[in-house]
Structure 1
Amino acid sequence: MDKTTGTFAAGVVAVPAYLAKGVEFDGVIVADGSASAYRREFERQLFYTACTRAMHELRIACVGNPNRWIAEQPRTPMHGCKEDLGMMIYLFRHGQTVYNADGERFCGTSDVGLTALGWQQARRAAQMLSGVRLHAFVHSGLRRAAETAKAIQESQPQLVGARLHVEPAFREVGFGSWEGLTRAEVNKRYPDMYAQWLADPAHVSIPGGDDVTQRQQEVLSAFSRLLVRFADCDIAVVAHNTINRLLLVGLLGSEARHYRRIVQENACMNIIEYSEASGVRIHAVNRLAI
C-alpha cells in the first residue's frame, strides 16, 4: 500500500490478521498481524478510503466493515490512551432493574439496583468490549449504573485497570411524581399531562420532575468535559435510558423533544468517536450482545 496516496496494488488487500482467518479470497491478502500497529501506521480515514477503492475499483474484497473495525478493534496500549488518534466513547445503558422488570415503571432518579437478569445482561454486554482497552469507566453514580459498570469491568481482564469515575450529569432524568408508576398508572392519574408528554416531552412539566431540555444541555456539557478530561483516551460511560437518548440526539444536532426517536434497551451499547478533525461521529446505537 502507498502510504501517501492510500492506494493498493492490484489484487492486494491489507487487513489485520485476525480478520483473515478462515476466509477465502480471489486476490492476495496482506495481513498485518497487529491491529494497533496497523492503526499507528495508517490514519483511519486513509484506511476507509483505501478499502472503498479496493472494493469498487479493483474488485477485490476488503474484509469487514471499515467503520465497524475502526470502532471496535483494540486501541494502542497504555490503558486506552494514544497520542495521534481520536477517542472512542462506549456509551451503555444499565442492565435490567426491578422497575424495568415490573411493567417498565418510571425509575428516574429512584436509586434501585440490578436484578439477577440485569447483572447477567451487564456481563454479557462486556463481550462487546472484548479486546478493547479503556482508560476509565464513567457512570452516573446511581446504583444501577455503578453495578453495570462494575459487572462490565470485571468481566474483561484488560479492563480491570480502568478507573471508575462518577459524573452526576449522567444521572437519569427525574420523573417526579411519576416515578414508581407504570405508564398505565400514569395515564390513569394524569391523562391529559401524559397525552401531552407523549406528544412533546420537552413542553410538559411533570410535578417534581426535571426539564428535559435543561437536562439535555447538562449532559452535553458533561460530555464536552469528558472529551477534555480524557482527551486521546478511550472510555466507557454507563448511564440511563432517557439521558442517553438526550445525549445522542443532541450530538446529532436535534432538540430534546425528539429523544424518543432513539431506542435504548437494557445493557445496550452505543459507539461514539471524537476527533478534532472530524468532530463527533456515531458508529452504533442500541447494540446488544448476542
Structure 2
Amino acid sequence: MNDSAITPTQARIPDIIEQLSKKIVGQRSTLELVTAACLAGGHVLLQDVPGTGKTRLAASLAKVFGLAFCRIQGTPDLLPADVVGATVFNPGDNRFTFHRGPIFTNVLLMDEINRATPRTQSALLEAMAEQQVSADGTTYRLPKPFFVIATANPIESQGVFPLPEAQLDRFLVQLNLGYIAAEEEIEMVRRVVFTKDEELSAVLDEQDVVKAQEEVRQILVSDDVLRYIVALGRATRTHDQVELGASPRAIVALTQYAQALAYLAQRRFVTPDDVKRAFYPTMAHRLQLNIDWMGEDGAKRVIEDVLQGVPVPNERAGV
C-alpha cells in the first residue's frame, strides 16, 4: 500500500457506512464492525433477539458492496444438499450434472442458523474455512469474495441446535445489535411506516471488495502492537475463570480484524485502540468459561479484565 496516502478504494469506505445508515437506524458502531469483518475476509455471526434488524443489515450490506446475495432460512428439515447443491441425473444426455446450491454466491445469509441440524451446519464448515465445497468426490471453488453472515436467536430453546465450538471458531466475529435509543426508534418507525423505503446505491463492486481485502492485509502492524495482540490472547489462557482460552487461530483473527478496523478508520497502521475494539467481537464466542453464575456478561467481564491486565504499548505504530 502506498505510504503517502490512503488508496482510492479505502477513501470510499465511509460511503459504505453512510449508505447502510439509510436502512439501519442507530447502529453505526455495529455497521462499522460488520463492514470491517467483511473487509477482513471473515464471517459474521449476528446473535440477538428477533426484530432488531439482523436480516435487513445482511441484505443491505450485500447491496452496498455490489455483491451477489442469497438467503437461506434455517429449519430442522434443511438438508446439506439444499445449501451446497446436488448431483442430478439428466435423462436428456444420460449424464449426471451438479446443480449448484445457494452457497455459490458472494454474500450468504444463513438466517437462524441454530435452527438447522448439526449435519446441515457442518455443510458450511468447508465453505467457511476453505472457500470451497465438495460433492460426490468433486471440489468446487466458491466465488471471490465470499463471506457468510449468520443470524441466531439466543433466547430460543425449542427446536434449535447450538453451534459446535469448531463452527463458532470459523466466525471471525460475533456481534449483537441490541435495542436502540428511544429517539432512534421513533425515527426507525417513521422510515418504515410513513415513508418510502430508500433505495441503496452500490459503493463498491466485486473487484473493489477483493482489492480492499488485499489492501487490508497490507496494513502495518508494528512489532510492539503484535506483541500486545499475542499477550492479550495468551492472557486469556491463564485467566482463572477461563477453561479454554484463545487459540493461535483466534490470535490471527484478532490481528486481521484490527487491520480491517484501521483500514476502516482510513489509517495505514494498527493502533492499540484498534486491537482493543477488535478484542471483544473476536474473543467472546471463542472463550469457554469455567463458571456459570456470571451469565451472559461473563465473557464481557473476563475480556475487560484481560484488557486491563495487559500493558498497552506506548509507541504508535507506523509513526
Q: Same fold (TM over 0.5)?
A: no
Work out which of the two has the higher radius of gyration on C-alpha atoms and give 1 or 2. Answer: 1
Could you state the TM-score of these two structures normalised by the residue count of structure 1? 0.25
